[in-house]
């Protein structure tokens, strides 16, 4: 598997966030959220945050997010674990987040 097929590899290669079309037909870009402080077990959680774009792509109109998908002994370690996800897994996480979101979906 090439490095570009992972979230981190894509970000490094292209110098920008990966973008996807969600199962709702809308455009999303993805970012990584990490905890600022560890949980009671000393772990930092990391999740994906998907920003939804207007049809013209010029403004944000909402977002969906995942539950924690990775943990680490530091925020950086948790982030690196999310960066190792394949873009296929990131897309699946987006579609699941859309399905789980309240509202029009």
Give the separation between CA 11 and CA 20, rounded to whole angstroms: 13
* Other residues' Cβ atoms within 10 Å of the Cβ of residue 25: 7
Tell me how far apart the terminal alpha carbons of the chain are, to the nearest angstrom. Answer: 33
Overall pTM surpassing 0.85 (yes/no): yes
Report the SS3 class of residue 100: helix
pLDDT of residue 105: 45
pLDDT digits (tens), the chain, 105 positions: 468 899 999 999 999 999 999 999 999 999 999 999 999 999 999 999 999 999 998 999 999 999 999 999 999 999 999 999 999 999 999 999 999 987 654
């Amino acid at each position: 598997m090439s490095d570009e097929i992972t979230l981190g590899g894509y970000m490094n290669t292209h110098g920008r966030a990966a973008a996807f079309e969600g199962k709702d037909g809308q455009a999303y870009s993805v970012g990584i959220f990490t905890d600022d402080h560890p949980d009671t077990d000393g772990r930092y959680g990391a999740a994906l945050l998907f920003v939804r774009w207007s049809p013209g792509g010029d403004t944000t109109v909402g977002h969906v997010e995942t539950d924690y998908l990775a943990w680490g002994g530091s925020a950086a370690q948790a982030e690196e674990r999310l960066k190792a996800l394949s873009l296929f897994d990131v897309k699946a996480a987006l579609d699941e987040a859309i399905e789980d979101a309240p509202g029009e979906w």
